[in-house]
A and B are shown apart, each in its own frame.
Chain A
Amino acid sequence: MTQLILLPILFQACLAVLLLFFYTKTKTQKVLSIAGSSVNLVIASLLFYTVWVNGSMSVQAGNWSAPFGITFVADTLAVTMVLLTAIVGFAVSVFSAFTIARDRLRFGYFSILHFLLMGLAGSFLTGDIFNLYVWFEIILISSFVLLTIGSEKKQLEGAVKYFALNMLASIMFLTALGILYGLTGTLNMADLSGKVAALENRGLVNVCALFFFIGFGIKAALFPLYAWLPDSYHAPPTAVTAIFSGLLTKVAVYALIRVFSVVFVVDEFFSQLFIILAVITIFSGGIGALVQTNIRKFFSYLIICHIGYMIIGLGLFNEIALAGMVFYLIHDVVIKTNLFLISGVIVKIKGTSDMRKLGDIYNDYPKLALLFALSLFSLIGIPPLSGFWPKVSLILGGMEADNYLTVGFILFGSFITLVVVAKLWAQVFWKSSANLEEHEDFSYFNKLRKRRKVAILFPVVFLTLVTLYIGFGAESVNTLATRIAGELINVQPYIDTVMGK
């Protein structure tokens, strides 16, 4: 039964290798990728269900017992993230099949996409901190290829910035790993938990924790080193940006949550640091979004803005705030992917991503506008849609900790999101659009055949339905988030699962 834990990783690996065999046959690749992603959805749900019913499980790869071998742990947080990866991966796979140009597909696009999904599943499931680094590298390498495939000038420009800052983050992460291994002699997270707590050299432990925080902070696009994100995310095709925005920053947030719950303790200093940086992140991301004119840069700044909420939850570190953070994480993965898919559809309709020239979406496509509005309202957090519930938990968590500054900034963040979304609505949906010259080699949405239109909209509808479920089924999602928060506060069951007690 425990073999099931590795299945989401191995299935993606097999799928990626299988796709390599059909390197030149793009049609076969499309079919295989969509079929594979649907099967992966079933696998991830099965794993989620098993862990939900039976509790956490662990498996030792290569049968070398912990803490010497590499452990894979499926606790509730990990399997939730794996399930979200499968959902987002499915939507992006479908969207890619119908929007990505053939020239890009010919260079192994789908294979790399599934290697990326494998890396994501691996980093969620691993219980070994060095193995986490390896999965991060797999994610990084795959994302470089996805960013640069097609080699347009703006793509390469974005990729250089992305590469430079993410390598810096990886070096920080590796340095921290070196210090940690030198201090304790182990890399298994569950084993580290006790050993780090018993160390007497607290100064070095804090420096090490700070290195981890800087490394993951850059990858999560936290203030002050977030500039790489808006500079690189607008360059590649929308499908690529969608999976990046949904999962790449979130995997860093996940790593932060994992490291600062199992290995290190969020003490007074880190709590303050998290909250202050998170608050500035919310502020600068929101202000940044206000002045953008490119619709995809606009959404990129919103990603930064909302990363702050999750870090606030981690900084407060009480049960209700952690539950809010996890709920927000679940909501954010789905909604951010959907936003970028929506921006892709809008660009497909109009042929430009400049918000000053866009317009008339409401006039021309009222039904689509309603569909998009559902996601935008969820993003702001208008009750009873999905963004509302985690914010309530976070605000309650802030009040419980008597930290009214965070409460204020959570409200400010929601308000600024409302303002920027209103601006987006006015500019893109209501305003009449400028006269756009038609590109000849661009396949406009209204010229596509009906089947293809439906296929492009299908992933958007799918993710919107998931978002609506998160909003209207908040009761069950909150039960899940509270259970995860409990596991984050009391990590003893996690340690026992790994050590096989």
Chain B
Amino acid sequence: MNSIILRTATNYILPLLLMFSVFILLRGHYLPGGGFVGGLIAAVAFVLHMFAHGLEKTRELLVIHPGYLLPFGLSLALLSGFAPVFFTGEPFMTGVWMENPIPVIGKVGSALFFDLGVYLVVFGVSLTIIFTISEDA
């Protein structure tokens, strides 16, 4: 799609959408949101960039192939599940929480890292699928 309006708008919307996706990710503990939705929004940001500038430009912007994020996201999610087993000896997936809250972000627990893993996996999978489809088209 060759439209100067879309291209100019995308340059501003892309960072905004990425920030929004991180906001949704962090919001997800008590309110609607979380890693899955956040990952989708981040993927949508890059899909929009792909519409405006073409697949090659988006690939250059991403530097690495989004598929590489899969194993990293999965291991992050798995490790966050293992945290209670190693630190407190409680069963797998028990929530482990920091004692003191970090300014701005708040209290950090193993659930956040699990969500972060989900975020990476969803982002990687949806972009890999969309890139593969648009390559064939």
Contact = CB atoms under 8 A, between A and B. Distances in A.
Given A20-B71, A21-B71, A13 B78 contact: yes
A63 B89 CA distance: 11
Interface in A37-91: 59-63
Contacts of B82: 10
Chain A at the B interface: SS class = helix
Contact of B70 (A2, A10, A20): A20
A17 B71 contact: yes
A14 B75 CA distance: 8
Contacts of A59: 91-92
Contact of B91 (A3, A13, A21, A23): A3
A61 B93 contact: yes
B71 A63 contact: no
A6 B82 CA distance: 11
Contacts of B91: 2-3, 6, 59-63
Contacts of A21: 71
B94 interface: yes
Nearest to B70: A20
Contacts of A23: 67, 71
A6 B71 contact: no
Contacts of B90: 63
Interface in B69-102: 70-71, 74-75, 78, 81-82, 84-85, 90-95
A14 to B, nearest CB: 6
Contact of A62 (B70, B74, B95): B95
Contacts of A3: 85, 91-92
Nearest to B75: A17
Nearest to B73: A17
Contacts of A62: 91-95
Contacts of A10: 78, 81-82, 92
Interface in A1-43: 2-3, 6, 10, 13-14, 17, 20-21, 23
B27 to A, nearest CB: 22
A96 to B, nearest CB: 20
B92 A17 contact: no
Contacts of B67: 23
A59 B90 CA distance: 10
A21 B74 CA distance: 11
A23 B70 CA distance: 11
Contacts of A20: 70-71, 74
Contact of A17 (B74, B85, B93): B74
A484 B49 CA distance: 59
A17 B78 contact: yes
Given A13-B78, A17-B75, A17-B78, A61 B70 contact: no
Interface string A409-448: 0000000000000000000000000000000000000000
Contacts of B95: 62
Given A17-B74, A20-B74, A23-B67, 9 more contacts: A2-B91, A3-B85, A6-B92, A13-B78, A20-B71, A59-B92, A61-B91, A62-B92, A63-B90
27 contacts: A2-B91, A3-B85, A3-B91, A6-B91, A6-B92, A10-B82, A10-B92, A13-B78, A14-B78, A17-B71, A17-B75, A20-B70, A21-B71, A23-B71, A59-B91, A59-B92, A60-B91, A61-B91, A61-B92, A61-B93, A62-B91, A62-B92, A62-B94, A62-B95, A63-B84, A63-B91, A63-B94
Interface of A: 2-3, 6, 10, 13-14, 17, 20-21, 23, 59-63
Task: State the 5 A-B residue pairs at the shortest beta-carbon distance, nearest first.
Answer: A20-B71, A63-B94, A62-B93, A17-B74, A21-B71
